[in-house]
């Protein structure tokens, strides 16, 4: 029989690495809560139309990377429905915002999520077909201040604080403005006009981009095309006064709180819904996938999905990539993540002591102690060997100890062995 394996691009996360995941996630929850964000959990699959309309039919994500299937009708009266595993979470959050009429509260909705996303791409380092994102969205009616550049700056400052608190150093915040919903098409048209006469001289990749997504030409890494790219129109010249003022205000707010950034006029993002502010936090040592997180403003998304006007700004952070950078950083200093040691390994000496040992373990665990319970069939030597790997102390529960109520405890670090009355055991272990 052939062995079943995790499918391509998916993987198992095992302890002790999962402790690192837990640390990152709990840090996110803690930091985001200080900014008054609340958690939202949306379904892992949605109507395919949500992504087609929200993310954009022409994007790579929608056109070739989605896991989509026809959910078959189970009754004559029922129609089959095209469903898709979510490739990102912003569309789902905005769908929920509309569906639950959160705009009617009149308040800005600040929501974060942590969960798996799915894209059918070729797996690589830092890129998986099931990957995890931590993201947040600040969305609401304009009257709630959702269009304010302060929101952009606040989200960026929150991200900087989060990365700092996690101990991630060496990141770079890169940002740009791609203009409002009306600026952007004008600019794209100008770009097409400028590219038309010169694109034949460019690399095949850029010729293709010039046709499908001219903005991407700006993002080209091809040095041969640099000269031509430098002559292309600049987005900054196509921003209307409002967009210019918005971007300036974002930068001013970042300056005021000392968050460092780089403006990159060529930063474009792949999703159709972005307007005005777009950004990335990048990090070296991630290989070709150097973007730790990306995001931006999406002032028109709600309306694209048939909802009310609800401007917003958000980001999605690649948890897999975050863990990767943490692991390489910590691997260099203190080695790979280690299992945390239990407070004590409890060794029953003989099978007859198994049941009493479980009772003692229960008592100690109720005091909050982390206890590894051995087995009465183990030879004492084996208990010591296992205990030494898993715990700080070993507790012996033999016939003598059971009869007298005085336990034998040995500390592995000091080698010191003591007799401790059962009533004092929990406190002694806690203090050690």
Residues that bind RNA (CB under 7 A): 5, 7-9, 59-61, 65, 88, 119, 121-128, 131, 133, 205, 209, 213, 216, 219-222, 269-271, 280, 287-294, 316-318, 320-321, 349, 379-382, 384-385, 388-389, 396, 398-401, 408, 410, 412-413, 415, 417
> Between residues 144 and 407, which has the closer beta carbon with respect to RNA?
407
Shortest distance in whole angstroms from residue 290 CB to RNA: 6
Sequence-distant (≥ 6) Cβ neighbours of residue 61 within 8 angstroms: 51, 55, 87, 88, 119, 270, 271
> Between residues 4 and 230, which has the closer beta carbon with respect to RNA?
4
Closest CA to 346 of 329, 331, 368, 364: 364
Q: What pairs with residue 280 in β-bridges?
A: 174, 294
Rounded Cα distance between 229 and 212, Å, is 17
Q: Is the Cα dihedral 96, 42, 181, 249 positive or negative?
A: positive
Shortest distance in whole angstroms from residue 316 CB to RNA: 4
Shortest distance in whole angstroms from residue 62 CB to RNA: 10
Under 8 Å between Cβ of 426 and 367: yes
Geometric angle at alpha carbon 294, from 256 and 115, rounded to 5°: 120
Rounded Cα distance between 195 and 202, Å, is 10
Q: Tokens for 146?
A: 């959702």
Rounded Cα distance between 161 and 258, Å, is 11
> Between residues 107 and 304, which has the closer beta carbon with respect to RNA?
304
Shortest distance in whole angstroms from residue 73 CB to RNA: 28
How is residue 258 annotated by DSSP?
T
> Between residues 144 and 364, which has the closer beta carbon with respect to RNA?
364
Shortest distance in whole angstroms from residue 384 CB to RNA: 3
Q: Tokens for 173?
A: 């915040």
> Between residues 119 and 151, which has the closer beta carbon with respect to RNA?
119
Shortest distance in whole angstroms from residue 379 CB to RNA: 4
> Between residues 222 and 330, which has the closer beta carbon with respect to RNA?
222
> Between residues 161 and 411, which has the closer beta carbon with respect to RNA?
411
> Between residues 295 and 307, which has the closer beta carbon with respect to RNA?
295
Rounded Cα distance between 215 and 291, Å, is 18
Shortest distance in whole angstroms from residue 367 CB to RNA: 22
Sequence-distant (≥ 6) Cβ neighbours of residue 304 within 8 angstroms: 53, 54, 273
Taking residue 35's Cβ as centre, other Cβ atoms within 10 Å add up to 16
Rounded Cα distance between 329 and 317, Å, is 18
DSSP 372-386: EE--TTS-HHHHHHH
Is residue 431 packed enough to be buried (19+ CB in 10 Å), middle (13-18) or exposed (0-12)?
exposed
Shortest distance in whole angstroms from residue 58 CB to RNA: 10
Closest CA to 417 of 406, 425, 409, 428: 409
> Between residues 219 and 363, which has the closer beta carbon with respect to RNA?
219
Shortest distance in whole angstroms from residue 393 CB to RNA: 9
> Between residues 44 and 249, which has the closer beta carbon with respect to RNA?
44
Q: What pairs with residue 345 in β-bridges?
A: 372, 394
Shortest distance in whole angstroms from residue 272 CB to RNA: 9
Closest CA to 154 of 250, 265, 38: 250
């Amino acid at each position: 029989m052939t062995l079943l394996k995790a499918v391509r691009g998916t993987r198992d996360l095992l302890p002790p690495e999962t402790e690192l995941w837990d640390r990152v996630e709990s840090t996110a929850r803690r930091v985001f809560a200080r900014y008054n964000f609340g958690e939202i959990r949306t379904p892992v699959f949605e109507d395919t139309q949500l992504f087609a309309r929200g993310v954009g039919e022409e994007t790579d994500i929608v056109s070739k990377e989605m896991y989509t299937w026809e959910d078959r009708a189970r009754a004559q009266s029922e129609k089959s429905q095209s469903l898709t595993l979510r490739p990102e979470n912003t569309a789902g959050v905005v769908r929920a915002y509309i569906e639950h009429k959160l705009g009617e509260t009149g308040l800005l909705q600040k929501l974060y999520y942590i969960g798996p996303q799915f894209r059918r791409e070729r797996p690589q380092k830092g890129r998986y077909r099931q990957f995890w994102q931590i993201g947040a969205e600040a969305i609401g009616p304009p009257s709630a201040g959702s269009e304010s550049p302060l929101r952009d700056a606040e989200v960026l400052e929150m991200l900087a604080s989060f990365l700092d608190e996690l101990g991630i150093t060496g990141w770079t915040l890169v940002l740009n403005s791609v203009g409002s919903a009306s600026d952007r098409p004008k600019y794209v048209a100008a770009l097409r006009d400028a590219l038309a006469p010169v694109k034949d001289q460019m690399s095949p990749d850029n010729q293709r981009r010039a046709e499908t997504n001219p903005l991407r030409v700006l993002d080209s890494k091809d040095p041969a095309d640099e000269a031509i790219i430098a002559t292309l129109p600049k987005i900054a010249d196509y921003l209307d006064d409002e967009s210019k003022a918005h971007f300036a205000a974002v930068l001013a707010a970042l300056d005021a709180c000392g968050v460092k950034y780089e403006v990159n006029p060529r930063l474009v993002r792949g999703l159709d819904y972005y307007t005005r502010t777009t950004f990335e936090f990048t990090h070296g040592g991630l290989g070709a996938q150097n973007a730790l997180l990306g995001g931006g403003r999406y002032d028109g998304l709600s309306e694209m999905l048939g909802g009310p006007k609800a401007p917003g700004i958000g980001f999605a952070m690649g948890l897999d990539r975050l863990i990767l950078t943490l692991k390489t950083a910590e691997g260099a200093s203190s080695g790979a993540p280690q299992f945390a040691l239990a407070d004590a390994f409890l060794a029953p000496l003989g099978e007859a002591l198994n049941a009493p040992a479980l009772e003692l373990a229960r008592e100690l665990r109720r005091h909050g102690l982390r206890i590894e319970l051995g087995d009465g069939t183990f030879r004492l030597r084996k208990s010591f060997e296992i205990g030494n790997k898993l715990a700080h102390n070993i507790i012996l529960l033999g016939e003598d100890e059971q009869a007298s109520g005085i336990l034998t405890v040995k500390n592995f670090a000091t080698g010191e062995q003591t007799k401790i009355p059962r009533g004092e055991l929990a406190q002694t272990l806690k203090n050690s």
